[in-house]
A and B are shown apart, each in its own frame.
Chain A
Amino acid sequence: MAPEKELVQLIGFWGSPYVLSVRWALKLKGIEYEYHEENLLKKSPLLLQYNPVYKKVPVLLHNGKPLVESLMIIQYIDETWKQNPLQPQDPYERAKTLFWAKFAHEKCIAPMVSSFFKIGEEQEKCVKEACEHLRTLESALEEGKRFFGGETIGFVDIAAAWMGCWARIIEEILSVKLIDEEKMPRLIAWFSNVVEVPALKECMPPTQNLLEHNIKFRKFLVAAAERLQSVPLTGN
């Protein structure tokens, strides 16, 4: 049982999908929290203090204790607040959801995001890799099921279904193809099923704002192309 006085704070960036996934988890659990917007171009001492290793958002503070990395934060939220469980109770089913959430992050989202920071052949390689793994994720989704695990929203949905929106933005800005309508119908339906859940839709930043922000960001990256490094502005 959670103690009477709970202080939950989230350090984030409005345009970060990783921050969004944590907000989704907090929303579904009905947890009240304070939100602190971070300027990623000028990171606050607070962020650097609470996340000295990665220096990224999101950072969740629970009664002053920091948690980092979105998947781990969501697991923590699920284990601390027991209402509306996001992960299955059965250890095998839980292992499966953890596997697919990590797969979605490491194999689909990571190359997708990398492609945004690259040009030419390296970008093509990232796009190809993302597409290959998206096809695998497609095959993991079951026909006719609304969400990844069935009819109730869960861990993999919160952790990864936002990637549909960001994939479309990347496609538009880079003029590449990530989501294949013919080969990925289940993925497309899944993306939509999750983001259309009213509680989750409320948290989504307007697509137009995301597009404008990322167009500017891409211009900045292209201008610095010679010294292109991984700039973790979208968190983890």
Chain B
Amino acid sequence: MAEVKLYGWWSSPFTHRIEVALKLKGVEYEFISEDVRNKSPSLLKYNPVLKKIPVLVHNGKPICESLVILEYIDETWEVGPSLLPKDPYERAMVRFWAKLLDEKCFPAMRNAFLSIGEEQEKAKEESTELLKFLEGTLSGNKFFGGDTIGMVDIVANFISYWFIIVQELAGLQVLTKEKFPKLCEWMDEYLNSDIIRENLPHKDKLTAIYQARFLDAAAANAAVAGGGGSPK
């Protein structure tokens, strides 16, 4: 029986974060694919509260929520690069940015992709404001973590890859080189670094599923606008 199991889904940026962290630490693990449309008894047993992926199971003990899992990995496997700094103030800064990314950036950027009209404009503005904060923290550093990849880089993964794909699908101009030169440089560094480059989900497959989601959302928005039915 594997000591470390990761329940996740190939296309999820949250799952991807954990895979990257485990690989950076050189931890061997068993990946168990979980389709959240058809949750397995194991997933419901290990995450009865939120019923979501990713879930890390270490020696039979489950840890849920990607930010919690990342801290757990860093504290449990002290070999390999540190995902969080040792200094308490710098750790607090890492947690601050991670929370901002998940609670504000992710929903805003998702809405910018899936909504239309005024809601979309608002989401685009919010995304831009948040990206400005991120751009500001990258002064002179290759990564948010400094010279090496850290927790903030890993948590910001959805910006570097997933958002770029959906931005193109939706014809958005939110994250551009002109507006965010440092973030774009960071994206290049991040996506081209060893562990990341070798472990990204296949771009065409990812594009296909987001294209389907985009079309579904567009149809639902059109139905609402035309008064023809309720949105999904």
Which A residues fall within an 8 A CB radius of B? 53, 62, 65, 67-69, 72-73, 75-76, 79-80, 91-92, 94-95, 98-99, 102-103, 136, 140
Given A76-B91, A79-B88: 10 more A-B contacts, CB < 8 Å: A53-B100, A65-B89, A67-B92, A76-B92, A91-B76, A92-B61, A92-B72, A99-B64, A99-B68, A102-B65
Chain A CB within 8 A of B49 CB: yes
Contacts of B68 in A (CB 8 A): 95, 98-99, 102
* Pairwise interchain contact B89-A67, C-beta atoms closer than 8 A: yes
Chain B interface residue bracket vs A:
20 to 34
**A94 contacts across to B, CB distance below 8 A:** 71-72, 75
Which applies to chain B's interface (DSSP): helix, strand, loop or mixed? helix
Contact A92 B63 (CB under 8 A): yes
Give chain B's interface residues, CB within 8 Å of chain A.
49-50, 58, 61, 63-65, 67-69, 71-72, 75-76, 88-89, 91-92, 95-96, 99-100, 133
Q: Chain B nearest CB: distance from A112 CB in Å? A: 17
3 A-B pairs with least C-beta separation: A79-B88, A91-B75, A95-B72
CB distance from B227 to the nearest CB of A (A): 20
A76 in contact with B61 given A68-B96, A98-B68 (CB within 8 Å): no
A58 vs B92: C-alpha distance when bound (angstroms): 14
CA distance A124 to B72 in the complex (A): 37
Question: For A72, what are the chain B residues with a Cβ–Cβ distance below 8 Å?
Answer: 92, 95-96, 99
Contact across chains for B71 and A98 when beta carbons are under 8 A apart: yes
